[in-house]
Amino acid sequence: MNSVLKGKNVLLGITGSIAAYKAAEIVRLLRKRGAAVFPIMTSSATHFVHPITFQTLASQKVTLKLFDKNNKQMGHLSLPRLADLLLIAPASANVIGKMASGIADEILTTIVLATEAPVVIAPAMDHGMYHSPILQRNISKLKAAGYRFIGPEKGDLASGEVGMGRMREPSKIVEYLEKLFQSRDDFLGKTFLVTAGPTRERLDTVRFFSNYSSGKMGYALAEEGGWRGAKIILVSGPSSLTPPGGVEFYQVESAQEMYDTVMDKFPQVDGVLMAAAVSDYRPARHWQNKIKKESREKLVVELVQNPDILKELGEKKANKILVGFCAETKDLEKEARKKLMTKDLDLVVANDITLEGAGFEVDTNVVTLIDGEGKKEALSKRSKREVAQKVWDKIKWLMEARKITREMT
């Protein structure tokens, strides 16, 4: 069978769930597609399926312990290095909780922390556990960190009840992995510039005007774009976040500095994702020393407009893809469509920052995507990394549609 999984090294984590028996079918399907499978079992998983089952199907030694005197190589170091992907199926609530907390007290969770490969999680548990607020918080935390989830789904559970918590079927999981590997080539040979975070406009030596942007949305876009094959130039305002590995990174402070850097890099790129919250105004005057309150009863600050980076990019873009972001407190769609037209955008990502779980500083977002043809897609609340995946999906669609249009003309 010709598959993108051929020649790939897949680490398969199996945890303590009755669905562990389904992992055997996952091994079979992966092997059929030419992947090498390295099973890793928690101690709880061995109560459901014997390790010999996975060793026979995978033709690989099953990793069971963090410390194995019979293994000359340290599994928690050697396995992460060879992995193209780590799949945890089934993933119990216990292991999900450990991963979300950074606990590495056994071999599987240690490998999760050590690997730089994509991690895909297929939860399986009773519906009561799945709907627990604690578990949902842990899942949200992992999604925000870039971990991908498939399932669960609603169906018959081991308890005899019907509800949400049933592990996605092995064939669907393997299909998902194939699509995931295919997407890694989506933007090969393409370069995109992503802006992120706030800007700061100095008032004096200790004070500035800024906003609440954390940079989380922009950094998620940069990481997802890089994972899908693009060369990413990330231009960020002040942020406590660590830049994703592999990006070309530029730290700026003011809107003018961001303008200068973006315009300098713009000729090199195939598109721009302008996720930064750029200050519209800056103080007309910058005090060279700290302003002392004793010296005046009232301080009047005159503000002047900063350069409109997005508008100028729209005027220069030619065949480049241009994505803008629109954070509003009212008239969201009206304002988004206005920005789309006046700044000649290909896509606008709009969010109402008054909604719970949307906007600045949080790990989630609630957005509406509107493209240049006016087509709208409203996304429910999800992690910013998941929003980033949707935005890049849309960019891929826009680029393919543009290519088809050129070929037809």
Q: Which of 138, 211, 306, 351 is catalytic?
A: 211
Verify whether residue 211 is a known catalytic residue: yes
Q: Are 233 and 194 in contact (CB under 8 A)?
A: yes
Q: Please state whether beta strands 382-383 and 364-365 pair in parallel, antiparallel, or not at all (unpaired).
A: antiparallel
Compute the residue count for the chain. Answer: 409
Output the six-digit token pair for 92.
């119990």
Catalytic residue IDs: 211
